[in-house]
Amino acid sequence: MYLRDRGWDFRDLPNLRQRTKTIRWDLRAQLDADEHGHGGGEYRYAVALRLWRYLGVDEELLTWAPPGQSPGEPLELLRRKGRKASYLNRATGVREEAVIPRLPASVMSTWDPHRDRQKHPQALRFRQWVERFRSYLIWDPKVLRNPDRGRYEEMGQSGEHLAAVLGRLKERSPASFTQLVTRLRRLFPTLSDITVSGRGWGRRTVRLHEGDGTEVVFNSQQMSDGVLRLLAVTSLLHLDRIPSVITFEEPENGVHPQLLREVVQTLRELTQRKAPNRCQVFLTTHSPYVLDEFFDHPEQVYCMERPHPQAGAKIIRLSENRQLNVVRESFRTSLGEAWFTGLLGAASR
């Protein structure tokens, strides 16, 4: 999906120009139990993608250890190599083997959440968590402005369905919608209200109201890029189901530097929710102002750099940078200024 949205083909990936090459991920997660009380514990998922006639899964391994288990071997729930897979039936305790089609997706995608819950309670808990990952690209103001039809519950990758999401929120949870407007009013004192034209499946448009005495109404085509993006980011706090993981690409784009603190604070609030709406947020940024908001939490920042064009990317946790203490003493409150001058690495190439 990521490649498709950019008009790329998997053959455009440099490390897949040879059919023997693979892309690998290794993920570890500590999850709470689901609504049925199943699946709490520590997971490790390793997956490798390989090019056949298409880009698909070649290997995968899923292990699980229950909460509080003493160090030892975790339980292997799933192992796959090519078309051969073995998985543990938790209902019987028997390991089953199967030859599967050349699926481009995980074996877990073939299991029914209701029919197979007793067989694979932990694996389905992990799958549920992964299916709630949401990746937001640079939100395009042209997309955010678009009128919309339908009863969408969340926005698309580029900001699609903002009007439908806000309209649904106002109809189903007026108190939450009022909280959203009140929060934005603190940032934009002239704001008096936000309304959404249309109802249900009809054509919907966002409108911004300003003024104390004589009111002026702006439709979404007349609203600034920054207001639209702040409106979209704030709406995430009021979703019925908060995503388990959110990735943002440069959420600061189009937002006034003085308001970037509000963007970061909103994303922080998403990470402070309790189960089942617990959320983890990853964002990329080129803004020194955004980096300044992490002055007291360098362990939450990772710097990525590539030493030379043929080298792979290197990721270093900022709290492990040997220059950090010197930089903090010299620049007092601004990590961004130190990064801008190249003292923290991750310099542009």
Q: Where are the domains of the chain?
A: 21-131, 134-285, 294-349
Under 8 Å CB-to-CB from 9, ≥6 apart: which residues?
Answer: 3
- Are 200 and 167 contacting, i.e. CB atoms less than 8 angstroms apart? no
Q: How confident is the model over 143-198, as pLDDT tens digits? A: 999 999 888 889 998 899 999 999 999 999 999 999 999 999 999 999 999 999 98
Strand partners, 26: 46
pLDDT score recorded for residue 270: 92
Task: State the Rg of the chain over Cα.
Answer: 23
CATH 3.40.50 fits 134-285, yes or no: yes
Give the per-residue pLDDT at 3.
63
Q: What is the pLDDT of residue 1?
A: 60
Q: For residue range 19-61, what is the model confidence (pLDDT) as tens digits?
A: 567 788 999 999 998 888 889 999 999 999 887 677 788 899 9
Segments of the chain scoring below 50 in pLDDT: none
Which residues have a Cβ under 8 Å from the Cβ of 271 and sit 6 or more positions away? 279, 280, 281
- Helix ranges (DSSP H) in the chain: 2-5, 121-131, 141-145, 162-172, 174-187, 225-235, 260-271, 288-292, 324-331, 335-340
Closest CA to 137 of 3, 37, 19: 3
- Is the bond preceding 276 in cis, omega lying within 30 degrees of 0? yes
* Per-residue pLDDT at 295: 87
User: Quick one: pLDDT at residue 116?
Assistant: 95
Give pLDDT, residue 6. Answer: 64
Strand partners, 289: none
H or E element at residue 284: strand 280-284
Tokens of 114: 């209701």
**Token digits for 27?**
């993920």
What confidence score (pLDDT) does residue 108 get? 95
Torsion, Cα 22 8 255 209, to 10 degrees, reads: -130
Tokens of 94: 């028997």
Q: Which of 346, 332, 242 is nearest to 287 (CA)?
A: 346
CA–CA–CA angle 276, 247, 29 (5° rounding): 50
Looking at this protein, which amino acid is placed at residue 186? R
pLDDT score of 5: 65
